[in-house]
Amino acid sequence: MSETQPSRHIGRSIGAVVAGIVVGIILSLGTDIALRASGIFPPPEQPAMSNALFLLATGYRIIYGIVGSYIIARLAPDRPMRHALIGGLIGLVASGVGAVATWNHVPSLGPHWYPLVLVVTALPCAWLGGKLGEMQFHTSS
């Protein structure tokens, strides 16, 4: 094994995690923008959205979390579940920081349950996306 192989392996691992996270962020923000542009979500300067709209946002963020973790697992050079869960841990930390940062901005940034659900679902979404990616990983190997 050459000395460049471990660094290439680490680079592919980091790239897989970053790619999955970036896809999840782009999908989430893109959907937010599309829903604002279509008038389904109110403009940012208006007071908080209804619980139903936050539930919609929660739903697509869960789906995108699974998709992002699936991408991480599929791009991982090995141990796809481990890679997906690392992405999930990053999502858990980011969601936790977001919850703390926005906690005292109710109702303008939404109800308290919304960031808490994002925290609670980060790892299950990562596991499910990782499991789906792992199944594909093993069938294509």
Q: Which domain holds residue 102?
A: 4-140
Q: Is 16 buried (19+), middle (13-18) or exposed (0-12) by CB count in 10 A?
A: buried
In the chain, the percentage of residues whose pLDDT exceeds 70 is: 94
Q: For residue 4, what pLDDT is reported?
A: 58
Cβ atoms of 19 and 71 within 8 Å: the answer is yes
Q: Does the pLDDT value for residue 134 go beyond 80?
A: yes
Looking at the structure of the chain, the number of domains it has is 1
| 141 — pLDDT class (breaks 50, 70, 90) | low
Any residues with CB less than 8 A from the CB of 27 and at least 6 apart, and which?
60, 64, 67, 68
Phi-psi region of 43 (alpha: psi -120 to 50; beta: other; left: phi over 0): beta
Q: Is 53 buried (19+), middle (13-18) or exposed (0-12) by CB count in 10 A?
A: middle
